[in-house]
Amino acid sequence: MKPHQEQFLAIQSMLAAGHRCVHLERHSLLLIGGVGGFLSVVTEWFITDTRFPNTDQRGIALLVWLAFWLGGMALVEHWMTRRARTRRAETLPFAQAQVTRAWWMLLSVGCLGSCAMFFYGGGGMIYALWTVLLGLGIYFYGLFSRPLIEWIGLAAILLGVAGLAAGLPYGATRWLNASCFAIGMPLAGWLNARFGDSGLPGRVAVLALWLAVVATPPLLIARYATTTVPSATPVYSVATVGLGEQVLRLEAGSRVPLRVDLDSPILTVAPDAGLDLTLTRPVEVALRDGRPDGRYRIGTGAWHTIHDGILQLRIDRIQPRLADGRAEVLTHASLDGAEFKGDTP
């Protein structure tokens, strides 16, 4: 290579280095990963419907809970980053200050979105949304930092979207989100410190390793996690239900009325109003001291808990219309799960 070409490449390289002067510090990734993973796992144990029976209260409690942890994490992370820069006798680049603001904005959107799902729905995809937000934040950093960080951000976005597109149940998306935070971020910091300057083949290998390490644990948990199977012998009548652990078996053809409890300024519902529903498949429900404890199974399938998101209720259409000279509202809903399609009763 001729000297002026070398000089030209050196200028290009230093210009790029000057533009990519943002450092996503290892402590930042540890903090983001630790707090995010903690929140993914613990939030549903803390914000429960027994502790906060009212939905609105639960939404506000979740907002305060997330704002406390994520806001605290953001402040500590910002303080530690400034201290690290000072120790290295470096100034904080303008780009880093802007990206930090964008990152805080993403966290705020995530907190508000989590709260809003209690008022407007969409809770089934909340963990996938957080995974995508995490990926976007890391990607923003990567644009001004090393390309490996950029790639890992894109990979996290891809994981969040792919999890939804692949129809992963709610519980699996929760573990995937926890893994992206708690395993993915510290691992990204370690890989960036060791292999951040690798060429294209090296980066591809590092990214494949990151994806494998992050995606494997939640998929294994989702595959092999089992709900505790009740040991009790099934009873066939509500009248025989007593204390302790029991299983109530409802045969196909059993009538299960749907009671409607509606809060509305424009409609009222009679207390005994109900919709006659009939089971098309037998269902077993686990009881604890005469009350359903959330475990169920359909037919002879596997036992699940009501919160694992296997069974999904979707109300996708509400249509006012006139029929037989009366105004009525037709609501279309579906209650199913991929696991139950084709299941024989």
Q: Which residues bind other proteins (CB under 8 A)?
A: 2-5, 7-8, 10-21, 82, 86, 88-94
Tell me how far, at minimum, the Cβ of 106 lies from other proteins, in Å: 24
Tell me how far, at minimum, the Cβ of 112 lies from other proteins, in Å: 31
Q: Which residue has the tokens 């959107």?
A: 109
Tell me how far, at minimum, the Cβ of 10 lies from other proteins, in Å: 6
Strand 283-288 versus strand 258-259 pairing type: unpaired
Q: 113 or 147: whose CB is closer to other proteins?
A: 147
232 in Cβ contact with 245 (< 8 Å): yes
CA–CA dist 57, 118 (Å, integer): 9
Tell me how far, at minimum, the Cβ of 205 lies from other proteins, in Å: 27
Q: 101 or 259: whose CB is closer to other proteins?
A: 101
Q: 11 or 252: whose CB is closer to other proteins?
A: 11
Tell me how far, at minimum, the Cβ of 32 lies from other proteins, in Å: 23
Q: 86 or 331: whose CB is closer to other proteins?
A: 86
Q: 76 or 84: whose CB is closer to other proteins?
A: 84
286 in Cβ contact with 293 (< 8 Å): yes
Strand 326-336 versus strand 291-298 pairing type: unpaired
Nearest to 233 by CA among 223, 242, 220, 221: 242
Q: 135 or 196: whose CB is closer to other proteins?
A: 196
Tell me how far, at minimum, the Cβ of 2 lies from other proteins, in Å: 7
Tell me how far, at minimum, the Cβ of 81 lies from other proteins, in Å: 12
Q: Which residue has the tokens 């993403």?
A: 106
Residues facing residue 334 across a β-bridge = 314
Print the SS3 string covering 279-332: CCCCEEEEEECCEEEEEEEECCCCCEECCCCCCEEEEEEEEEEEECCEEEEEEE
Q: 82 or 259: whose CB is closer to other proteins?
A: 82
Tell me how far, at minimum, the Cβ of 21 lies from other proteins, in Å: 5
- DSSP H or E run through 223: helix 200-224
What tokens does 84 get?
A: 């690290």
Tell me how far, at minimum, the Cβ of 83 lies from other proteins, in Å: 9
Q: 78 or 288: whose CB is closer to other proteins?
A: 78
**What's CA 150's distance to the chain center, in Å?**
22
Tell me how far, at minimum, the Cβ of 87 lies from other proteins, in Å: 9
Give SS3 for 274: strand
Q: 21 or 207: whose CB is closer to other proteins?
A: 21
| CA-CA-CA-CA dihedral for 26, 29, 33, 34, to nearest 10 | 50
CA–CA dist 323, 148 (Å, integer): 61
* Residue 184, burial from CB neighbour count under 10 angstroms (0-12, 13-18, 19+): buried
* HSE value, Cβ hemisphere, 13 Å, CA-based, for 324: 2
Q: 15 or 229: whose CB is closer to other proteins?
A: 15
